[in-house]
Amino acid sequence: MTRKKRRLYVLLLCGLGLGSATALTLTAFQDNLVFFRSPSDIMREAPPANRAFRLGGLVEAGSLERGTGADGRPTANFRVTDGAHVIRVSYAGVLPDLFREGQGVVTLGMMQPDGVFRAREVLARHDETYMPPEVADALKRAGHWNPAQGAAPPPAEWNTAPRRGG
- State yes or no: residue 66 binds other proteins (CB under 8 A): yes
Report in angstroms how near the CB of residue 62 gets to other proteins at its nearest.
17
- Give the interface size with other proteins as a residue count (CB under 8 A): 41
Footprint on residues 17-36 left by other proteins (CB under 8 A):
17-18, 20-21, 24-25, 27-29, 31-36
* Long-range contacts of residues 75-81, Cβ cutoff 8 Å, at least 24 apart: 79/163, 79/166, 80/39, 80/55, 80/56, 80/105, 80/107, 80/117, 81/39, 81/57, 81/155, 81/158, 81/159, 81/161
If one counts every other C-beta atom within 10 angstroms of the C-beta of residue 71, the result is: 7
- State yes or no: residue 95 binds other proteins (CB under 8 A): yes
CB 156 within 8 Å of CB 60: no
Report in angstroms how near the CB of residue 112 gets to other proteins at its nearest.
20
Residue 67 vs 153, nearer CB to other proteins: 67
- State yes or no: residue 98 binds other proteins (CB under 8 A): yes
Residue 41 vs 60, nearer CB to other proteins: 41
Of 43, 110, 116, 125, the one binding other proteins by CB under 8 A: 125
Residue 27 vs 166, nearer CB to other proteins: 27
Task: Report how far apart, in Å, the C-alpha atoms of 156 and of each of 10, 36, 85, 130 are.
Answer: 64, 24, 14, 19
Report in angstroms how near the CB of residue 53 gets to other proteins at its nearest.
9
Closest CA to 86 of 39, 120, 134, 23: 39
Task: Report how far apart, in Å, the C-alpha atoms of 146 and of each of 23, 103, 141, 142, 151 are.
Answer: 42, 16, 9, 10, 9
- State yes or no: residue 72 binds other proteins (CB under 8 A): yes
Q: Which residues bind other proteins (CB under 8 A)?
A: 1, 6, 9, 13-14, 16-18, 20-21, 24-25, 27-29, 31-36, 54, 66, 68, 72-74, 92-95, 97-98, 108, 125-126, 128, 132-134, 137
